[in-house]
Structure formats: C-alpha cells, structure tokens
Chain A
Amino acid sequence: MTLQQQIRSARMRTLVVLVLFVVLMAVLVAAIYVAFGAGYGLIMGMVAVGYGIFGYIASGSIVAAASGAHKINKEDAPELFRTVENAAIAAGLSKTPDVYIIDDPAPNAFAAGRTPDKAYIAATTGILQLLDKRELEGVMAHEMAHVRNRDVRLMTLAAVLVGVISMVADMLLWSMVFSGNRNSNDNNPLGAILAIVAIVLAPIGAALLQMSLSRKREYLADATAAELTGDPEGLARALYKLGVDQRPLTKVNRATAHMWIESPLRDNKGMRSSLAGMFDTHPPLQERIDRLQQMGGFTLPPIPKGAADA
C-alpha cells in the first residue's frame, strides 16, 4: 500500500474498533437490563459515567513523573531540540511541544499530553546515543504524529472505557451473587445466563479492543511520520535498531506502555503466538518495518531472530 492508502486504511480501522467499543457497551447495557431491570441499570449507568469522567480528569500528566523524565532547553540538546522543532513544523503545529529527557540506557521515546498545545515529547538518553540524525528524525516524527492525531486523548479515553466496563462488570457480578439472582430466575433463565456470559466477557473484550486500537494507532503514526519527514526509510532504520537492541526500560509499567515508540515491556519473549499478540500494545517491529518498506520502496535486512521481538 502507498502512504496515503495506509493512512486511510488505519483511520478506517480505528473507526471499526470504536464502533465495536460502542457495540460492547450496548451489549453490557442490554445485559444489565435483562438481568436487573431498568431502575437498577440507570443507577449503575450514572455511577459508571461519574467514574469515567473522574478517571479521565485524574489521568492528566502523571506520565512524565512516573517515567522519571525531566524537561530540557534548546541549549541542553540542540540536535534533539531542532529535530522536534522540524517535526512540529512539518505537522503544522502552532507550538513546538516541550522536550523531556529520560536518563535510561534503553532506547525509547514517547509523546504525552492530551492536546497539541499541552503536548510534550520525551526521549531516553539511550535512543539519542543509538540513532543517527536521520533515524532520530523518523522517531520524533512518529511521536509528533501521535500528537497531531490526538492519540494520547484517544488512548486515555479507551483506558477509561476499559476501566468503566470492568468496574460495571464487577459490580454486576457481585450483586448477582448476593441477590441470589432472584429478579431474573422467575421469568427468563436463558436471558440471565446470557447476561452473565456478557458480563464476564465484557472486560476481556474491552481490553482486547483497547490493545487493538493501540496497534492501529501505531501503524497510523508510522505512516504519518513517513509523510512528515518524506522519508519512511529513516524511521524503518530506527525501528530496525530498536529491534536489535535488547535492553528493557527500568521505570515503566503496563499502563503507559502504549505511549512508547516500541513496546517497553519485554516480559513476553519466547511466547509469540497470534494469541499473545492480541494483548500487545504495539504491532511487531518487523511488520511495521515491512509496511514502511512498502510505501518507501526500499529493503532492509530482516531483524535477526533471537533479538527482542517487541
């Protein structure tokens, strides 16, 4: 696929995932209705909305602190700073995002901040040492693409939705246990069973959708980055180097994993089945490189086997 085709297809897939999210919510609501009736459902709905709003607001800018990033000025790292400036210009952002550095030898980078005005981009000292100018441009363009595509907001929203769905499912399960299921047993046993199945499966489904959404946005950010730099090969070379590198980040947790250029988690080595892949925040690096090769018309050697497959 060409660059523009990949961007369109990634947008389309995002839409599909979002629709599935809505469907999932609808199924859950239906399950509540069948199992408990409308009144109970309304109360639960209000609790869920309140929880969701609170979660969205509370999830502000906790990431920088959590990953040990500190803000830098242009004099501290002029080359990195210029690269970020250029990517911001190419993305048409009115303000260059703040730049943060993380003292960590593991090469990685992320973007955060829900709106482009408040966005910031962080890079580890490891990635600055590992990559040359052209590759760094690719990576910064990828992060800038996350900023411009409003991915941080989207993924925050997805995380909050997953939280809400899990909470509601938990509450339902417990209230079913304690109420002895008396509402539904009388009139509609099949409905009750289906409701239980929906309630048990909903959180898993939501988590799968969240991860799938994260992977789609990674592909989109890669394609957008190629558009911003006009050089898909630079980013592909960077991803190749990241694929060969084995060092895991020291300060990272699963909650912020979706924000990095490559997955910072290295706990799933060895067990690479398509099933395990469904829970990944990032597509395999090799697949991302392949897609960049398609739009750029170049070929890199495959990432050696045995290297970390993030």
Chain B
Amino acid sequence: MNILLILIAVIVVVILLWLVIAYNGLVRLRNEASQGESSIDIQLKRRADLIPNLVEAVKGYATHESEAFENVSNARAQALGAKSLSEKAAADGAMQASVGKLFAIAEAYPELRAVESFKQLQTELSDTEDKVAASRRYYNSVVQQFNTKQQTVPTSFIAGAFGFSPRAFYRIEDDSERQPVKVDLS
C-alpha cells in the first residue's frame, strides 16, 4: 500500500518535472527564434545603410544606368519598410539582386574599382552579405528545432495545450532563382 503510494508520487513528480522542462524548452526556442529574426533585421538594416554610399559611388561613373539605381533604391525602401518575415525575405532577395547588378555595372569601370573607398565599400557589403546569410541560417535552424518539437510526441501535447504555433522559415526569393530554367530541347 505504502509502496504503491510512493510509486504514484514519484511518477507524478517525474511527469510534472518533464512538463516544466518541455514547456521551458519550447519557450526558449520561441525566444531564440525571435532573437534570430531580430539578428536578421540588424544585418538587413546594415546593408540598407550601405546602399546610398554605393549608389553615390557608382553614379559618378555610370551615368546611364538609371534603372539599376532605381531598382536598388526601391529594394532599400522595401527592406526598411518591411514588417512581416515574408516581406523582409522578399526585400532581402531584391536588395541582394540589385546590389549584385550594381557591382556588375561597376566592373566596367576600372577607375572606379581602383578607388580605395569603393574597395572598402565592396568588402563591407560582401561581409554584410555573409552576415545576413549567417543570421538566416541561425534563424532557420532554430525554427526547424522549434517546429519539430511541436510536431513530435510528446512535446506536441504541451505545444497544443499552451498555444505554441510553428514559425515560418526565412526563404529568400531571389529573382534569378524564381525564373524557370530554360531547357533547350532542340
């Protein structure tokens, strides 16, 4: 009789303990995902801040490329105004593509590429690119853990009971990736 009571008490304690640990784990991952998203924000902002300098630098040499300048300014405005994760991702992709275009244009002007401040800008931007990518990887790996926990038994019960919901992955849709690949069958 006594032993049975003790056994029940132990089981209850273990279940409670597990509940606490599992719940805390979910909260931790949710916070880490938010932290990951703000880390992406910081890097996107940093890249957006570098863009006016880039435009100024290239403008002095490539005067006929108004469309490229417009694109990059639009992408920048889009990034600064983005609220939701998918808007940010879209702006991220647009910014990446249009900045790439500007650098491609700059390739044609050796004098520009020789300017020290331009070289520095180029390093800065490519570093920011790496940092955006790094924060993206962190966010997505946390989201993957978070979502998997919510979808697997037994954590899924807690996730359901306490109203956790899966988070969206951060996928950038680069124009070059979206276009269908043309296959020549002739």
Contact = CB atoms under 8 A, between A and B. Distances in A.
A84 B135 CA distance: 13
A227 B134 CA distance: 10
A87 interface: yes
Nearest to A137: B130
Nearest to A94: B35
Contacts of A91: 138
B134 A87 contact: yes
A90 interface: yes
A94 B127 CA distance: 19
Given A227-B141, A228-B137, A92 B35 contact: yes
B102 interface: no
Interface in A76-91: 78, 82, 85-87, 89-91
A161 to B, nearest CB: 25
Contacts of B133: 230
A55 B74 CA distance: 60
A88 to B, nearest CB: 8
Contact of B137 (A78, A82, A230): A230
A86 B130 contact: yes
Interface in B133-167: 133-135, 137-138, 141-142
Contacts of A92: 32, 35-36, 39, 138, 142
Contacts of A90: 134-135, 137-138
B127 A89 contact: no
A230 B130 CA distance: 12
B39 A89 contact: yes
Given A82-B127, A82-B130, A89 B141 contact: no
Contacts of B123: 78
Contacts, number: 33
Interface footprint category on B:
10 to 19
B142 to A, nearest CB: 7
Residue from the set A89, A90, A227 with the largest chain B CB neighbour count within 10 Å = A89
Interface string B115-129: 000000001000100
Contacts of B135: 89-90
A19 to B, nearest CB: 19
B131 interface: yes
Contacts of B43: 89
Interface in A206-238: 227-228, 230
Closest 10 CB pairs of A and B: A90-B134, A89-B134, A92-B138, A86-B134, A90-B137, A86-B130, A89-B135, A90-B138, A82-B127, A89-B131
25 contacts: A78-B123, A82-B127, A82-B130, A85-B131, A86-B127, A86-B131, A87-B134, A89-B39, A89-B43, A89-B131, A89-B134, A89-B138, A90-B134, A90-B135, A90-B137, A90-B138, A92-B35, A92-B36, A92-B39, A92-B142, A94-B35, A227-B137, A227-B141, A228-B134, A228-B137
Given A89-B39, A92-B138, 9 more contacts: A86-B127, A86-B130, A86-B131, A87-B134, A91-B138, A92-B35, A92-B36, A92-B142, A228-B134
